[in-house]
Amino acid sequence: MWEVFVTLAIIVAAAWALGRYMSAALGDAPTRIDRVFAPIEKVLYRLSGIDANKGMSWQGIAKAFLVSNLVLAVIVQAIFMFQHWLPLNPDHIPGMSWDLALHTMISFLTNTNQQHYSGQAQLSYFSQLAGVVTLQVITPAMGLAIALAVLRGLFGGRNSAAAKEGQVRDLGNFYADTVRVTGRVLLPLILLLSLLLTWQGVPSTFDGAKQITPVDAAAEVKEQIIPVGPVAPMVAIKQLGTNGGGWYGPNSAVPLENPTPLSNLFQLVSIVLIPMAIVFMMGRFTRRPKLALLTFGVMAFFSLAFIASAQWSELQPNVAVEGLATSQPNMEGKEQRFGPASSALWSTLTTQTSNGSVNAMHDSLNPVAGLVAISGMLINGIWGGIGCGLVNFLVYLLVTVFLSGLMIGRSPEIYGRKLEVGEMRLLSVLVLLQPVILLAATALTLSIPSITGNSNPGFHGVSQVFYEFSSSFANNGSGFEGLGDATKWWNLSCSVVLLLGRYACFIIPLAVVGRLAMKRVAPVTSGTLNIETPTFAITLIAVIVLLTLLCFLPVLVLGPIGEALSLTAAI
């Protein structure tokens, strides 16, 4: 278990350092970092017609976000469908069908990377680089730009005088924030991780697939085709950008994508590095270090509880080999070179964020570890994706402030701004959207057995279907891969859930803080609710449990909980 503790310690230390850098690099006050990046950014602004100093209201930011995503959607859809006419296709891969191209485009546009295709076999180099990798860089940058706007809305925007008068309209500039996140944070980290992975043996070439002769001369297959390509850069951004989509179908379980224990460590750290760094960044960005400490403490509580549960689960034997000499621990679906501890840690962290990459097959996890993976996606605010994780957590925070105010008989307010009927209606829609969409989609799919495509009956079959939709709404992308999901039903149904999970969960919180920013700030008195306390943190944990895990308890009982109890009874 020392490997788990060392990995977590490295993640926290690296995230703390990166968070300090990000607070300076992305803050609104001038810093020495501007001397390096500002000249390049000014050229980009001039070429694209962006006035970086022009502030936007929440409506302006929402419009910019949606319009830019629509433009990207049209371009990438065309690339996927007509890749056979485009360059960098040495293996002559045909174009995708319209429904598979639509799902793939929406999946990467929403920072999800859910794959109903096998990357190395169905996408050309041009599609991987111009379509997939481009979205893997831009979409997390856009997510963090929205999160920065939300933070400004909670704390008065970029004009302190307007904030005091309740006239805040300047929540930042969406385009400028996106450019700064891309150039100052993502690209330098991608370059560094790409070099480290190439050093460890991950392919980085534009050559076509390699033909090799197996070492077993008696094998029936005399030649084997090994797809390669510019894999290292894609693996770097898939991890750092909480994307998760791999160059190869089996993702980071493939030796070419994750060849060594050291490459496994690099990728594990990268999965949660930026989402955790955003929490540390928030303290300096908002000048509220206690709020950052509260956020980190609540997230860490859930994270460690889930990690411990998954570790315990995967150290138990798989019931299929119970009693045999090889029964300890559960090695089904895992790489021998990584083992159960690293695989369980990866499955937990990748579902606590919206990353979704895998170094073991989640479908073969023991039921408790599978329950942990689903629960992380249902909460979708334990570190979370870049930007969306913090925004989702702030939604829980606002709901808790409202409920706490009702319980103690005080007018609900956060940092001097009152939470009123309009804000709570919007938050209620967002809170109810997840269970309505997930439960309805799961029930409909299970009611028509011919369209599920699941490989298991009973409890695990329910888990497979529910996991797929939970992963879609959380913009995670991982799956219980016992599903035959390369069908029109799965492509189209998941596309709808992907869109709702991305855009509703960004636009509604943005509207809420936009309304709050327009309110006059009330003075702090002895009757003001202090949210930066251990008592409020415990209340927040309870609200998260009630709104997510207990809300889905019936379907979890029919899925992983029921499977765990049935297997226990069979031993």
| Per-residue model confidence (pLDDT) at position 213 | 77
Q: Is the pLDDT of residue 485 over 60?
A: yes
Q: Is the dihedral of CA 161, 164, 170, 171 positive or negative?
A: positive
Percent of the chain with pLDDT over 90: 69
What's the DSSP call for residue 248? S
Q: Is the pLDDT of residue 408 over 80?
A: no
| Per-residue model confidence (pLDDT) at position 527 | 67
| Mean local confidence (pLDDT), 94-109 | 95
Q: How confident is the model at residue 214 (pLDDT cuts 50, 70, 90)?
A: confident
| Per-residue model confidence (pLDDT) at position 410 | 73
Q: Is the dihedral of CA 415, 421, 424, 430 positive or negative?
A: negative
Q: How does strand 413-414 pair with strand 417-418?
A: antiparallel
| Per-residue model confidence (pLDDT) at position 219 | 59
| Per-residue model confidence (pLDDT) at position 215 | 73
**What are the residues facing 210 on neighbouring strands?**
226
Greatest distance between any 2 Cα atoms in the chain: 82
pLDDT tens digits, one per residue of 35-93: 999 999 999 999 999 999 899 999 999 999 999 999 999 999 999 999 999 998 988 89
pLDDT tens digits, one per residue of 539-558: 999 999 998 878 899 999 99
Phi, psi of 53, rounded to the nearest 5 degrees: -85, -10
Q: Cα(first)–Cα(last) distance of the chain, in Å? A: 27
The length of the chain, given as a count of residues: 571
Q: How confident is the model at residue 197 (pLDDT cuts 50, 70, 90)?
A: very high
| Per-residue model confidence (pLDDT) at position 35 | 94
| Per-residue model confidence (pLDDT) at position 195 | 96
| Per-residue model confidence (pLDDT) at position 454 | 84
What share of residues in the chain are helix, strand, coil (percent, to 5)? Answer: 65, 0, 30
Phi, psi of 357, rounded to the nearest 5 degrees: -70, 160
451: number of Cβ within 10 Å:
17
Q: Is the pLDDT of residue 559 over 70?
A: yes
pLDDT tens digits, one per residue of 227-259: 888 899 989 999 999 999 888 878 899 999 999
Percent of the chain with pLDDT over 70: 94
| Mean local confidence (pLDDT), 288-314 | 96
| Mean local confidence (pLDDT), 462-477 | 96
Which is nearest to 262 in space by CA: 16, 6, 17?
6
Q: Is the pLDDT of residue 181 over 70?
A: yes
Burial class (CB in 10 A: 0-12, 13-18, 19+), 134: middle
112: number of Cβ within 10 Å:
30
What's the DSSP call for residue 413? E
Is 369:316 a contact under the CB 8 Å cutoff? Answer: no
Burial class (CB in 10 A: 0-12, 13-18, 19+), 570: exposed
Q: Is the pLDDT of residue 517 over 90?
A: no
| Per-residue model confidence (pLDDT) at position 68 | 97
Is 126:86 a contact under the CB 8 Å cutoff? Answer: yes
Q: 46-60, 99-113, 219-233: which range is least confident on average? A: 219-233
Which is more confidently placed, 210 or 358? 358
Please give the Cα distance from 351 to 474 (Å, whole number). 9
Task: Give the highest mean pLDDT range of 121-125, 161-165, 313-317, 472-476.
Answer: 472-476
**What are the residues facing 414 on neighbouring strands?**
417
Task: Give the highest mean pLDDT range of 296-310, 395-409, 471-485.
Answer: 296-310
Q: Is the pLDDT of residue 433 over 90?
A: yes
Average pLDDT of the chain to the nearest whole number: 90
| Per-residue model confidence (pLDDT) at position 501 | 96
Q: Is the dihedral of CA 352, 356, 357, 361 positive or negative?
A: positive
The two tokens of residue 96 are: 């995708």
**Those residues with Cβ within 8 angstroms of residue 509's Cβ, 6 or more apart along the chain or in another chain:** 150, 391, 394, 395, 430
